[in-house]
Structure 1
């Protein structure tokens, strides 16, 4: 995760059947216990989680010396689902169905789309990006001078997914000629309605000869790398369908829409005029010295495939829980690839996915005043979504980091309150 606008794999030692039997018995016992709890026990547990999240939010307020608009946790265990929305007195709590921008959690959806195309034989995620779409004479990325960016001929789709391709990030790092700003920030400040394209981002790589390292020799988080993946999804879907398609079209048709295996209320705008965040909604808040900025309706065309998603806590929970359990669009064996396929340069980041101890597999995101986290832990069958609509920059990176850490503290504390392993 990069703090701009925008953890250990455990190999099974026991046989799979024995592990499955142990987990099944544990879940059955847990279910029986839940069925025989006093009538108010589940209400007590909900209340305890609420108090826990309240304590994290108020501690953050004290640390920042600023108000925190809300801190929200949705946690699902084998026997229950609990939403705790902590807000200052008089404020309206966030609902499971409240829309918000979940930022770089989008990257996991992009990885899912790529791997689903791989399952269907539409692409090979191990292939170089200059390779041909299977069964066609069309390359994954255009074979034109406008796409001749550094190391293009040596980069694979897999490396883009792992952030090991060395693609310079024009959305997170300053680009020459833009007064110390990123290309996307400077362009959007000049024209908030600008329709961004992957090609113009690539153009900055070419004219400034920008890259981080030779592919496969390092790790650097890159939104621009994921923008290229979005272009690949667009080109493959257009080629296979015989008509012009977008990244958002594929995600809707195969991953989240009404015809997907597990439909969820999630959207990925790709047009500069598709700015409206629907109600009910929460707007991101950015606090700067002497200034507060709210982000609601917003042009997300610069973040396609890397951070343009919005949806609800319920939808994110359903998605990450079903996906990581192998009960969604990807086969269980493909989910295992997503969870374990990491480069040697950074084993903590896999294919659009991280493993965080005592939280599980998932992703996080930060974009225009929003912080979000989604994860599923297969060891406990617990999924969690956390949302904090605040970037506090009044003390620079220090106050931002406090917000980011509070999101994780809330996740760990909620788990611990329900009897699961918490903060390591």
Structure 2
């Protein structure tokens, strides 16, 4: 299996597609896409006889039709789940002959996982299990064990200077072996290189840190910049694992903590959300939607089964749009595992270099707090707007990499269509749409 599609463009998604968000240095949104997003989204609400549900459906239909026309390709579906203070709406716009997605259709939500990782860290902080301001070399409270191992295979650059908070903010300078080319691996990221040669490979954290240590890779000294890093969140997943193991007195995994405390049947808001970490755990539950991806070569691939062992804590989650909506809505309203004052810490604009990225969340104008993600042909957005009390999940199971340098242009059109659908659905109900 060619793993190129897993990580190649993922790091470039996590800025808001609006002019108030400075984007990554190498991000394709810097130029070509910016112009697509600066316009206004206006929905005609003069005819109040059109039911609200129909207005939302038509708004999403129009965005999908525009994307099909622009790409000259059939778009399988474009989907929006939206909840206001009084109503819930769902629109699945599908191509002719295709079955609509439902609110309970499973799919992979990629880097939206980071919000769950941040929630886990802050729940541990709230419970007194860790100090998110602490350096990763400090001891776990009440134990003689540090947050990360004291072994040579953890001697990454600036290890003693990195804090848990900086990992959450992407301000630790940890090199991303999932997205950026690593010396000695044919100009590819480490994850891509390995998966393209063995799709069943079982990754470990230590293995993924080895290229960083061997080449002394870093972006900058901790707290001196911003660079999105999946590897930083993989380190956070190990910290969660170590803290939970120490507190429970038995070996635990990242997935164990999320199941036991964040999403499972004993959590405050139980939801069918999973975070696979084994190389043999590749199947989505039924019903699910497979993604479609046009490769740079013009070949059309479809994906459902994916090895997520190289994405633990940063992009390995899957669930449904309805469940993600319930999660982000309850979380941001202080009705889930985090108390309102702890939720504020997630939302705080704490990064000097990137003031709109807090602890595992971004702030998207007229959409609210949340995260987006992309993996294996899936695009997703999960947000909650505290001003309007509107939560929203958008999902497009389609990538096109046939236009532009390395597919950036056509991929960007897909990415923007997801946002356009989110804004259009809001505007159809009279809420502020695209800025």
The TM-score, its normalising length taken from structure 2, stands at: 0.88
Greater shift, 278-287 or 51-60, is seen at 278-287
Q: Name which of 245, 258, 266 aligns with 1:259.
A: 266
1:148-201 CA-to-partner distances (Å, cap 9, x unmatched) read 011111000000000000000000001111111110011111111111011011
Q: Name which of 281, 284, 304 aligns with 1:277.
A: 284
2:415 maps to 1:408:
no
Uncovered stretches (5+) of structure 2, i.e. residues with no partner: 1-6, 19-47
Q: Distance in 2 between matches of 1:103 and 1:60?
A: 22
Secondary structure, counterpart of 1:301 in structure 2: coil
Q: Name which of 68, 72, 75 aligns with 2:82.
A: 75
1:345-368 CA-to-partner distances (Å, cap 9, x unmatched) read 110100000111100010000111
Q: Name which of 51, 55, 62 aligns with 2:62.
A: 55
Q: Distance in 2 between matches of 1:180 and 1:373?
A: 30
Q: Distance in 2 between matches of 1:3 and 1:192?
A: 16
Matches within 5 A, 1:130-149: 130-149=137-156
Match of 2:126 in 1: 119
1:3 and 1:366 in contact (8 A); partners too: no
Match of 2:186 in 1: 179
Matches within 5 A, 1:242-321: 242-288=249-295, 289-321=297-329
Question: Which structure exhibits the higher relative contact order, with contacts defined as CA atoms closer than 8 Å and separated by 6 or more residues?
Answer: 2
2:349 and 2:356 in contact (8 A); partners too: no
Secondary structure, counterpart of 2:196 in structure 1: helix
Matches within 5 A, 1:9-408: 44-288=51-295, 289-395=297-403, 396-408=407-419
Q: Distance in 2 between matches of 1:327 and 1:272?
A: 34
2:9 maps to 1:4:
yes
Secondary structure, counterpart of 1:351 in structure 2: coil
Question: Would the alpha carbon gap of residues 419 and 56 (structure 1) be closer, same or farther in structure 2, given more than 3 Å must change?
Answer: same
Secondary structure, counterpart of 1:266 in structure 2: coil
Q: Distance in 1 between matches of 2:387 and 2:49?
A: 22
Q: Distance in 1 between matches of 2:207 and 2:291?
A: 27
Q: Distance in 1 between matches of 2:337 and 2:50?
A: 34
2:106 and 2:284 in contact (8 A); partners too: yes
Cα RMSD after superposing both structures: 1.4
Q: Distance in 2 between matches of 1:358 and 1:215?
A: 31
1:370-390 CA-to-partner distances (Å, cap 9, x unmatched) read 000000001111000000001
1:123-166 CA-to-partner distances (Å, cap 9, x unmatched) read 00000000100000000000111100111110000000000000
Q: Distance in 2 between matches of 1:65 and 1:141?
A: 50
* Pairwise CA distance, 1:47: 1.0
Q: Distance in 1 between matches of 2:181 and 2:290?
A: 26
* Pairwise CA distance, 1:290: 2.2
2:10 and 2:373 in contact (8 A); partners too: no
Q: Distance in 2 between matches of 1:240 and 1:64?
A: 52
1:223-264 CA-to-partner distances (Å, cap 9, x unmatched) read 000000000001111111111110000000000011110011
* Pairwise CA distance, 1:208: 1.0
Secondary structure, counterpart of 1:303 in structure 2: coil
The TM-score, its normalising length taken from structure 1, stands at: 0.90
User: Aligned residue pairs: how many?
Assistant: 391
Uncovered stretches (5+) of structure 1, i.e. residues with no partner: 9-40
